[in-house]
Chain A
Amino acid sequence: MLFPTVEYAVFFLAVLAISWALAPRRIAHKSFLLAASYLFYGFWNWRYVPLLFLISLFAGLIGQALQRTDDGVTRKRLLIAGVTVCLLVLAYYKYTSFLLLSALGLWGFVGHTPGWNISTPFLPLGISFFVFHAISLMGDIYRRKLREPLHLLDALLYVAFFPQLIAGPILRASNFVPQLLRQRSLQHIRVNRAFLLILAGLFKKVILSNTLSTRLVEPVFSAPANFHSVDVLLAIYGYAAQIYCDFSGYTDIAIGCAMLLGYRFPRNFNAPYTATDPQEFWQRWHISLSSWLRDYLYIPLGGSRRGVSRTYINLMITMLLGGLWHGASWTFVMWGGLQGLYLVIHRLWVAAPSPAVQRLRSSTAWPWVARLLMFHAVCLGWVFFRAPTFGLAATVLHQLGSHGAVTLAAWPVVLCLVLGLFGQYAPPVWRRSVEATMSRMPVAVNGVALALGVFAIELLGPTGVAPFIYFQF
């Protein structure tokens, strides 16, 4: 079920009404939300609901076992077993083809590859996200960040809760499970903020992302050799705007829906293209994933505690695996490698003792130069992220230097591009100002305003709703 669809609107309004009606009865409320989440997932393909159930049940049982014992060795073994099983499931569904083709590719260097008629499984929607939730549940209990006794119902709902199920944000068990233990407050619902988030999310996805995708990015990345420098450059910028609007749009809607249901999700994006360095970028882009990778991968690897060289290695490993998490392809590994390289170069740059470097970094213009550099470094990464093969990525980059007619710079495309990129510079006070105005209006007026906004978005958006980019991960 996609967010910007009638099906989801009907589903959500029904779930909203029933879940609040059941709010005083906690077990019934949570059971209902769990059933609704399975319905939401089953709407895509009911055959994979058992997989979702079994993974969350398994993580819940391991979590309970971890809470029952204080023996360090047993706890460690339980955690390793739990994480291994989760990763094996992820590997089977997501990486079988990648591993197989890579192995056959290596074999090809040695001799003729066997002509097996092999088949690989379908990729269950959102598997990367719900497997990470399962790992987070076990990890937080192992680290004793989640001290409240874990109930299986809470474990199941934490992994399957529908607003975040398909594409995040990746919730921490230590943050979300306690919310499930509290009584719903009937007085503290951030309705206006939720409405704004949902509207902003729909605007970013339906208008900006879809327009940029269909009219700029898709044509160029399908056949880059047919386009020239300006079109190709616009398409690269366009993809930067598209992926931001698509993914942050999804999470805005997810956060807004959860808010209306009385739950709080962490912020997932914070104007990422305003970042002046790679470290800051990852503090602003897909925050729930970057902090997950930091806490469950980078720090366990040793983080920056084992010397400079080891820090660089840990950064590279973390970002390479982060790249692989996004997709089972060497282009994603390349993207991750670039991000790791940027982080290493930035650390070297920060540590550079040269007075000239220090002077440059303290100049007034430097933040804007750095912002520009950072943005283009990110864009280079997006070329590999978007292109299905290295050859195509190379063609895209090569065509940047070719001269020819500009064919795709229609005014709606340029407008969407400008809004998608520079909208991130809108001061937060604007949003607060709108929220303040809404708080002074009669509540029914806000509801009507939301309906008008949705109507306008429906009119302005291209026909048909493309799936969210992050659904494939």
Chain B
Amino acid sequence: MRAYQRFSTLSQLAASVGAFALAALLLESGGLYDWAQRLDLGLERTVAMPVATALHRALAPLHIEQGRRNTLVELARIGWSDDPAALAEANTHTQPKELTPPPVAPSTVTVPLKNTTTVTKPVTPTTATVTIQPVPLRPDAAPGLSTLPAIPSIATGKTRTIALAGDSMMAVGMSSTILRQASLYKNLSFVHAFKSGTGLARPEVFNWQLEYPAMLKEARPDFVLVAIGANDGQGFVEDGVTYPFGSDGWKRIYQRRVQAYLDMLEENGATVIWLGLPPMKSDVYDARIALINRIDYSVVSASPHAIWVGTAGLVGDGSGRFRDYGEIDGHTTRLRQSDGIHLSDDGATLITTKLLRWLAVQEVPKPVAAPVTTAQESTKP
């Protein structure tokens, strides 16, 4: 090979990097806009959002962003991508459309009380609020695994389909433990419907209303096991209004999003088992998670098709507070990951072992997934 110039001067470096930056801005204006939108509320977002928006608007006539989205859908069509939403779009549309999240369905906050006969979920656009109920943290008081209600058994030769839904609280520790234990229960089948780094606070970042149906594909779960909310301890913007975490507006909107998520999970007669978030190591973060738990509990406990499973009494200490270690079969073991947030496999085992045994109860014919009647409702949680 001929000798070549290995080294460049500073001015050449400046020219190369400058050209890179310009070309990258041109090509990635859509990506930068998406990125800025995803940032947590704060200084970074305040600075980035106007710049990214202006850039995105200025370059929109070049249709680079449209080409980028078309390419993503084409990649899904040829099987490269495993992004369920892009895949669903590739399968259903010849002409890809903009992947903008639809408005979150406003749902009622006057939800029917548990164990009532109401079947259809009322969806009324209202901004009224319900009282956010405290989550009992004491294990003897919490609706944890010790108070699981009776559910219809699985008919012989049939399987029960369970969707595993949520964010990294499901993805880390929990889902792998469940799937490992699944080999013990041949009458249970599982659908993956979880994704790390998601949540309910920021539908513009990850829109569960779009993604969840795509994750299910053709599956019709009988039960949905959900653990979600670890990323939701942050403020958000809706309709141009900023809602700091914990403000009244934040609570109202977040509750609406939890309700919409729950409504979606319950579609087609699925019963939702909502795992409360465990206590967290950091006090500041734990306080945020406690508020999220309270809102979740308010929504879930009001639904006739959902069961709240408090986890603080299982993986927390006697007072429901965070603990790193616990005993399983007489051996001290780590219940939490080193981040102080997620469950370890052993920690998850404390929850999943009994849950799966309960879900796998067999022999009574499986009820038809039709509109729930009063008679059936009495056996529902």
B50-92 vs A, Cβ < 8 Å mask (1 yes, 0 no): 0000000000000000001001100100011111000000000
How many angstroms between the C-alpha atoms of A327 and B19 in the bound complex?
42
Nearest-CB residue, chain B, relative to A388 = B345
How many angstroms between the C-alpha atoms of A105 and B17 in the bound complex?
56
Q: In the complex where A225-B183, A443-B8 touch, is A97 in contact with B334 (Cβ < 8 A)?
A: yes
How many angstroms between the C-alpha atoms of A20 and B332 in the bound complex?
54
How many angstroms between the C-alpha atoms of A226 and B176 in the bound complex?
11
List residues 197-233 of chain B with CB under 8 A from any CB of chain A.
Answer: 197
Quick check: B13 and A20 within 8 Å, CB to CB?
yes
Among listed A233-241, A376-384, A429-437, interface-contacting one? A429-437
In this assembly, does B136 line the interface, its C-beta being within 8 Å of a C-beta of chain A? Answer: no
In this assembly, does B294 line the interface, its C-beta being within 8 Å of a C-beta of chain A? Answer: no
B320-337 vs A, Cβ < 8 Å mask (1 yes, 0 no): 001111010011111000
Chain B residue numbers with a CB within 8 Å of A464 are 195-197
Quick check: A223 and B24 within 8 Å, CB to CB?
no
Q: In the complex where A6-B32, A448-B19, A451-B23 touch, is A226 in contact with B179 (Cβ < 8 A)?
A: yes
Nearest-CB residue, chain B, relative to A193 = B6
In this assembly, does B377 line the interface, its C-beta being within 8 Å of a C-beta of chain A? Answer: no
- Selected from B27, B183, B332, the residue in CB contact (under 8 A) with A104 is B332
In this assembly, does B180 line the interface, its C-beta being within 8 Å of a C-beta of chain A? Answer: yes
Q: In the complex where A190-B8, A226-B182 touch, is A433 in contact with B17 (Cβ < 8 A)?
A: no
Nearest-CB residue, chain B, relative to A446 = B16
Q: How large is the interface on B (under 10, 10 to 19, 20 to 34, 35 or more residues)?
A: 35 or more
Quick check: A113 and B331 within 8 Å, CB to CB?
yes
Give 20 CB contacts A-B under 8 Å: A9-B24, A13-B17, A123-B338, A186-B9, A190-B8, A191-B16, A195-B16, A226-B183, A410-B82, A433-B1, A443-B12, A443-B16, A444-B18, A447-B15, A448-B20, A450-B20, A451-B22, A455-B28, A460-B75, A464-B195
Q: In the complex where A433-B1, A448-B20, A455-B24 touch, is A105 in contact with B325 (Cβ < 8 A)?
A: no
Chain B residue numbers with a CB within 8 Å of A192 are 6, 8
Among listed A114-122, A168-176, A297-305, A339-347, interface-contacting one? A114-122
Quick check: A191 and B13 within 8 Å, CB to CB?
yes
Residue with the greatest number of chain A CB neighbours at <10 A, chosen from B20, B82, B331, B340: B20
Chain A residue numbers with a CB within 8 Å of B32 are 6
In this assembly, does B31 line the interface, its C-beta being within 8 Å of a C-beta of chain A? Answer: yes
Nearest-CB residue, chain A, relative to B31 = A458
Q: How far is the CB of B83 from chain A (nearest CB, A)?
A: 6
In this assembly, does B21 line the interface, its C-beta being within 8 Å of a C-beta of chain A? Answer: yes
Chain A residue numbers with a CB within 8 Å of B43 are none
Q: How far is the CB of B315 from chain A (nearest CB, A)?
A: 12
In this assembly, does A407 line the interface, its C-beta being within 8 Å of a C-beta of chain B? Answer: no
Quick check: A222 and B179 within 8 Å, CB to CB?
yes
In this assembly, does A452 line the interface, its C-beta being within 8 Å of a C-beta of chain B? Answer: yes
Q: How far is the CB of A457 from chain B (nearest CB, A)?
A: 11
Q: A392-B180, A451-B27 are in contact. List 11 more A-B contacts (CB 8 A).
A: A13-B17, A20-B13, A101-B333, A118-B325, A189-B9, A190-B7, A223-B180, A429-B1, A447-B23, A450-B20, A454-B24
A441-470 vs B, Cβ < 8 Å mask (1 yes, 0 no): 001111110111011001110111000000
Quick check: A411 and B16 within 8 Å, CB to CB?
no
How many angstroms between the C-alpha atoms of A117 and B324 in the bound complex?
7
In this assembly, does B375 line the interface, its C-beta being within 8 Å of a C-beta of chain A? Answer: no
Nearest-CB residue, chain A, relative to B81 = A462
A199-222 vs B, Cβ < 8 Å mask (1 yes, 0 no): 000000000000000110000001
In this assembly, does A68 line the interface, its C-beta being within 8 Å of a C-beta of chain B? Answer: no
In this assembly, does A412 line the interface, its C-beta being within 8 Å of a C-beta of chain B? Answer: yes
Nearest 7 pairs of A and B residues by beta carbon: A447-B19, A223-B179, A451-B23, A222-B176, A447-B20, A444-B19, A436-B4
How many angstroms between the C-alpha atoms of A214 and B183 in the bound complex?
21
Quick check: A215 and B82 within 8 Å, CB to CB?
yes
In this assembly, does A358 line the interface, its C-beta being within 8 Å of a C-beta of chain B? Answer: no
Q: How far is the CB of B353 from chain A (nearest CB, A)?
A: 15
Quick check: A451 and B331 within 8 Å, CB to CB?
no
Quick check: B15 and A443 within 8 Å, CB to CB?
yes
Nearest-CB residue, chain B, relative to A123 = B338
Quick check: A445 and B1 within 8 Å, CB to CB?
no
Quick check: B72 and A459 within 8 Å, CB to CB?
yes
List residues 160-183 of chain B with CB under 8 A from any CB of chain A.
Answer: 175-176, 179-180, 182-183
How many angstroms between the C-alpha atoms of A117 and B325 in the bound complex?
7
Quick check: B327 and A113 within 8 Å, CB to CB?
yes
Quick check: A214 and B82 within 8 Å, CB to CB?
yes
Q: How far is the CB of B46 from chain A (nearest CB, A)?
A: 15
